[in-house]
Structure 1
Amino acid sequence: MRASFVVVLLAMFVAGCVTNTDSRFAREADRDKAVRNYVQLGTAYIGQNNLERARHHLERALELSPDDPGALAAMGLIYNAEGEPELAERSFRESLDSDQGYTRGRVYYGAFLYGAGRFEDSREQFLAASRDTSYNDRASVFFNLGLTEERIGNLEGATTAYRRAVELSRGDAKSLLALSRTLVESG
């Protein structure tokens, strides 16, 4: 009886042990999550104009995933804010080379090109971004496209883009004003 008690106790002890596996898939998921978190923190710091903290988090993301489109695009924002347009453009291009479907990167790059006075190139980026129906801020993409169309002298294209921005933003005042302006200008 005592031997069977020891066997049962030993069996319970062994059954209570937990096997910990460190699978490649779990490590990859953890790495991807860490990269997303670093990029999110970095972009939040950019929004607060704390470029030093933003750079720190984005560099951590790039250490884990050197081709991450979000980290590369956000680094482009930092370079642009620091007055390094060549580095900014290179980062934006690397972001889009890494993922052609990264709409936020296209929006950042389009805004960068617009600020540089390269309106035709900016228009291409905003047009490509506007095709992503799952992008959550499409209204601003169309608004930016409208601004770009105005700059290149295409009032019809600007009116169409602003109209779409109004539809998507449900009557945002900025979009309504821009639409009204182009309608008046075009007669």
Structure 2
Amino acid sequence: MSLFKAVTLFCSITLAGCSAFSSSEQPKGRIDQSALATYTKLGMQYLQAGDTASAKESLQQAALADPGYAPALNGLAMVFQAEREPELADQYFQRATQADPNSAMIFNNYGAFLFSQQRFEEACKALARSTEDPFYTQRAQAFENLGRCYRLIDRDSAAEHVFNRSVTLSPLRVTAHIELADLYLDKGQASLAAQHYAIFQQQLDAQETQHFAKSLWVGVRLARHSGNPSKAASYALLLKNLYPNSEEYNKFKDTGL
């Protein structure tokens, strides 16, 4: 069955009044928004399943019908990102943000893409836009992403602020707590660092999260600070065994702790 027939069948079953894009059926200049949404949803489902060819076909149907339909443009950008076509991904992300300059979700996706390309200054700007919408359901994640970005361009004060915004909105954000602990250790504020690490430890004990390179590196430093060399050694061994190529393990070796 062709994609066109599949979508038409899907529409007839699930969406009353949904139709394919046919100029003979639609009044001139009028676009069926439900069909746009259906093509886009189907395209994103294909993308999640790893079928980028079908995803492109479906999303392109929506984009051709309405070249300014931001969700489809965002979807195509994500498809090209998955296919490792960064120039095309960038083009479609830019078109999507221009089509809907108020979409926190699109700016978050674009920021994540720029981050993956190590275009950190641009990534921070896009991620900052994604935090502006107070109704964005992933706003805590967006603040966390922005904080990680700020750290990479040496804006630690700004990073501290947005990490705190993240844990205010979502008190159990693991990465934000570890990043804050790391920042406070760098500032010589070990007691504050320990408070954030304790929240991470509670989730670890409840088996709701697991260690990663930075959590182990922070653990090494806190254990040393509290005078617990055996615990520091345990964290260091895990860091060496699990993340031997990490930046954190390189820092551990460089410090000679």
TM-score by length of 1: 0.79
Matches within 5 A, 1:82-101: 82-101=83-102
Asked if the contact 1:146/1:158 (under 8 Å) is kept, the reply is yes
Q: Give the match for residue 61 of structure 2.
A: 60
Matches of 2:81 and 2:184, distance apart in 1:
34
Q: Give the match for residue 176 of structure 1.
A: 177
Taking a change above 3 Å as real, the CA distance of residues 35 and 138 of structure 1, as seen in their structure-2 partners, is: same
Q: Give the match for residue 109 of structure 1.
A: 110
Q: Give the match for residue 81 of structure 1.
A: 82
Asked if the contact 2:127/2:142 (under 8 Å) is kept, the reply is yes
Aligned residues: 162
Structure with higher Rg: it is: 1
Q: Give the match for residue 166 of structure 1.
A: 167
Matches of 2:53 and 2:112, distance apart in 1:
22
Matches of 2:180 and 2:49, distance apart in 1:
31
Cα deviation per residue 1:44-69 (whole Å; 9 max; x = unaligned)?
Answer: 33233221232122112113222111
Cα deviation per residue 1:85-121 (whole Å; 9 max; x = unaligned)?
Answer: 1111110111111121122211111111111111111
Q: Give the match for residue 130 of structure 1.
A: 131
Q: Higher relative CO (CA 8 A, sep ≥ 6), structure 1 or 2?
A: 1
User: Root-mean-square deviation (CA), in Å?
Assistant: 1.9
In structure 2, stretches of 5+ residues that fail to align are 1-24, 189-257
Name the SS of the counterpart of 1:63 in structure 2: helix
In structure 1, stretches of 5+ residues that fail to align are 1-21
Asked if the contact 2:140/2:169 (under 8 Å) is kept, the reply is yes
Cα deviation per residue 1:107-141 (whole Å; 9 max; x = unaligned)?
Answer: 11111111111111111111111111121110111
Matches of 1:140 and 1:41, distance apart in 2:
25
AA at the equivalent of 2:84: G
Matches within 5 A, 1:120-159: 120-159=121-160
Taking a change above 3 Å as real, the CA distance of residues 56 and 124 of structure 1, as seen in their structure-2 partners, is: same
Matches of 1:163 and 1:47, distance apart in 2:
32
AA at the equivalent of 1:177: I
Matches of 1:124 and 1:175, distance apart in 2:
19
Runs of 4+ in 1 over 6 A off after TM superposition: none
More helix as a share of residues: 1
Asked if the contact 2:150/2:158 (under 8 Å) is kept, the reply is yes
Name the SS of the counterpart of 2:91 in structure 1: helix
Deviation at 1:37, TM superposition (A): 2.2
Deviation at 1:23, TM superposition (A): 9.0
Name the SS of the counterpart of 1:135 in structure 2: coil
Matches of 1:184 and 1:45, distance apart in 2:
44
Deviation at 1:168, TM superposition (A): 1.5
Identity %: 28
Matches of 2:86 and 2:26, distance apart in 1:
42
Taking a change above 3 Å as real, the CA distance of residues 23 and 78 of structure 1, as seen in their structure-2 partners, is: closer
Q: Give the match for residue 249 of structure 2.
A: none
